[in-house]
């Protein structure tokens, strides 16, 4: 237990050091929908760029016209202030239409191995083919005050939906740092603005040109969402009748309230509407017996919630960004880090050179004064000044050594990842690699066609001098209902 606490303290100190020497790159939230695209600068949420999309570019939350979308992105980029365009990293929030979410509970005993346990549970409850989807999870803080369980939220989306947006954004000079969905972004923005409180339940209704999104939140966390397109509300004349809209609205509110009561107990006590002003009077009249809060989309939107996401915070958040795209973002961030510190080190070495010249000059003057002095006693003020200069030089040398160690560790980690990818070949699909540090065991969670292929991959790892203590427990080779097997392998990286 003491060793575990020591490792946690050391990990926390390293994270704080990395925050100090490599601050989080500026983020912007980018919301896409069938009819609009909105970008909010994370450094100042009041700066928004909003464009309407022509029909046919995005339909049903899916990108249909990549070239047309690229033209819109370039126009959006052109309208951004020059300060925002520099090192632009965006958190993309996609429509919640095709994003499946599910809450699940784990016993408190798994807290020490939460990553691996959550991964396995996601694979078991996934409503989509794992080979064709991206999925992730986050912990629902405050969801179980008694501490008797760990409640998690999982999210799943088809890869083709995300990949279409990411590839086009990359071609238009946007660096994508994370991918989430509108309901998750909205709940974060409500929490950031103080519109929702812990211990309370909320039903958030967002009315947009594409349809109505219903979002259920409790303890400031997302629980559930559903989407009703306008096409399902239109009457025989293909026009939306106010009465039909109100009936659908009342029916969905009643259904979701009953769903909440049956799963979590109690009643939904607060209703929040994000809707254009044209709809607000009709909603107030239809639901006059309920406490309602209204917001205009300009003051409360998913893009602002995505912009407030912190990539360096300790709490893990869902990101539906594929591993390959995440590596590209990390490489870009590393290049920015190297560029920043290259300039800093040049200036620092220049300062060190001037400091050395100053110390040398001071020592020469001290030697001359000593030779002409009538006493053999040390000049106390000069001795004190020399000690201070030596102390500053020592501190600077320690900082340079620390930076060198960090760069060496990054290079070694990259070599290990490339070797693992080469050994995996085409039969092995790696879902996740856990490398907290190269001084502790590495864990790989992956998929392959059969048990023999998994064992052969383990043997290839064991055959490398770079790896030691390669272990693949039979209990962690799990057949999948969709075909193939999931496996977990543990090993240690050895420095050569």
Going by C-alpha positions, the residue among 91, 61, 52, 83 that lies closest to residue 169 is 91
Taking the C-alpha atoms of residue 129 and residue 134, their distance in angstroms, rounded to an integer, is: 10
Predicted local distance difference test score (pLDDT) of residue 320? 94
Predicted local distance difference test score (pLDDT) of residue 95? 96
Per-residue model confidence as pLDDT tens digits over 107-143: 877 767 888 899 999 999 999 999 999 999 999 865 4
pTM metric for this prediction: 0.63
- What DSSP assignment string belongs to 36-64? EEEEEETT-TT-EEEEEPPTTSEETTEE-
Predicted local distance difference test score (pLDDT) of residue 2? 45
Predicted local distance difference test score (pLDDT) of residue 164? 94
Taking the C-alpha atoms of residue 39 and residue 31, their distance in angstroms, rounded to an integer, is: 6
Beta bridge pairs of residue 30: 39, 92
Predicted local distance difference test score (pLDDT) of residue 29? 94
Q: From residue 280, how far is each of 209, 300, 437, 457 by CA, in Å?
A: 15, 15, 53, 60
Taking the C-alpha atoms of residue 238 and residue 312, their distance in angstroms, rounded to an integer, is: 48
Say if residues 166 and 179 touch (Cβ distance below 8 Å). Answer: yes
**Regions of the chain where pLDDT drops below 70:** 1-25, 44-46, 84, 86-87, 111, 141-148, 235-238, 311-314, 323-344, 372-386, 396, 399-411, 496
Taking the C-alpha atoms of residue 111 and residue 47, their distance in angstroms, rounded to an integer, is: 40
Structure tokens given for 258: 């009953």
Taking the C-alpha atoms of residue 441 and residue 452, their distance in angstroms, rounded to an integer, is: 23
Taking the C-alpha atoms of residue 408 and residue 18, their distance in angstroms, rounded to an integer, is: 15
What phi, psi does 190 have (nearest 5°)? -60, -40
Structure tokens given for 334: 């590393």
Predicted local distance difference test score (pLDDT) of residue 48? 87
Q: Is 281 exposed, middle or buried (0-12, 13-18, 19+ CB in 10 A)?
A: exposed
Predicted local distance difference test score (pLDDT) of residue 476? 86
Predicted local distance difference test score (pLDDT) of residue 244? 86
Say if residues 120 and 197 touch (Cβ distance below 8 Å). Answer: no
Q: Is 294 exposed, middle or buried (0-12, 13-18, 19+ CB in 10 A)?
A: middle
Taking the C-alpha atoms of residue 275 and residue 249, their distance in angstroms, rounded to an integer, is: 13
């Amino acid at each position: 237990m003491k060793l575990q606490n020591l490792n946690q303290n050391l990990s926390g100190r390293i994270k704080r050091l990395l925050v100090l020497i490599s601050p989080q790159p500026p983020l912007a939230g980018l919301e896409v929908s069938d009819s609009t695209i909105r970008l909010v600068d994370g450094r100042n949420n009041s700066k928004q760029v909003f464009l309407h999309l022509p029909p046919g570019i995005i339909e049903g939350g899916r990108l249909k016209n990549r070239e047309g979308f690229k033209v819109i992105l370039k126009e959006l980029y052109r309208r951004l202030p020059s300060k925002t365009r520099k090192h632009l990293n965006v958190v993309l929030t996609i429509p919640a239409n095709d994003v499946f979410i599910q809450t699940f509970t784990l016993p408190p005993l798994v807290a020490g191995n939460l990553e691996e346990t959550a991964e396995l549970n996601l694979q078991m409850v996934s409503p989509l083919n794992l080979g064709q989807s991206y999925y992730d999870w986050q912990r629902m803080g405050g969801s179980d005050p008694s501490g008797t369980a760990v409640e998690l939220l999982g999210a799943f989306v088809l890869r083709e939906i995300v990949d279409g947006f990411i590839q086009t954004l990359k071609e238009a000079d946007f660096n994508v740092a994370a991918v989430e969905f509108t309901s998750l972004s909205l709940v974060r923005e409500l929490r950031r603005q103080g519109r929702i409180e812990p211990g309370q339940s909320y039903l958030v209704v967002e009315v947009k040109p594409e349809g109505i999104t219903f979002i259920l939140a409790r303890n400031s966390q997302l629980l559930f969402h559903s989407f009703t397109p306008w096409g399902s509300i239109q009457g025989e004349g293909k026009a939306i009748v106010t009465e039909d809209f109100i009936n659908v609205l009342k029916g969905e509110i009643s259904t979701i309230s009953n769903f909440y009561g049956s799963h979590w107990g109690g009643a939904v006590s607060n209703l929040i509407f994000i809707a254009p002003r044209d709809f607000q009077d009709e909603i107030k009249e239809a639901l006059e017996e309920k406490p309602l809060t209204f917001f205009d989309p300009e003051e409360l939107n998913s893009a602002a919630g995505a912009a407030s996401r912190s990539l360096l915070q300790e709490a893990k958040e869902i990101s539906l960004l594929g591993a390959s795209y995440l590596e590209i973002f990390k490489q870009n961030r590393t290049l920015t880090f190297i560029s920043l510190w290259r300039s800093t080190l040049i200036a620092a070495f220049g300062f060190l050179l001037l400091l050395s010249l100053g110390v040398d000059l001071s020592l020469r003057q001290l030697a001359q004064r000593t030779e002409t002095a009538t006493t053999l006693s040390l000049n106390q003020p000069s001795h004190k000044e020399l000690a201070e200069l030596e102390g500053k030089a020592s501190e600077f040398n320690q900082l340079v050594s620390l930076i060198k160690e960090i760069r060496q560790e990054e290079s070694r980690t990259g070599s290990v990842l490339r070797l693992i990818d080469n050994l995996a070949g085409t039969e092995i699909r790696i879902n996740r690699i856990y490398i907290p540090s190269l001084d502790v065991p590495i864990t790989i969670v992956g998929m392959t066609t059969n048990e023999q292929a998994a064992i052969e991959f383990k043997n290839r790892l064991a055959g490398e001098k770079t790896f030691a203590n390669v272990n693949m427990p039979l209990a962690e080779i799990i057949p999948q209902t969709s075909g193939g097997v999931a496996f977990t392998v543990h090993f240690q990286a050895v420095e050569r």
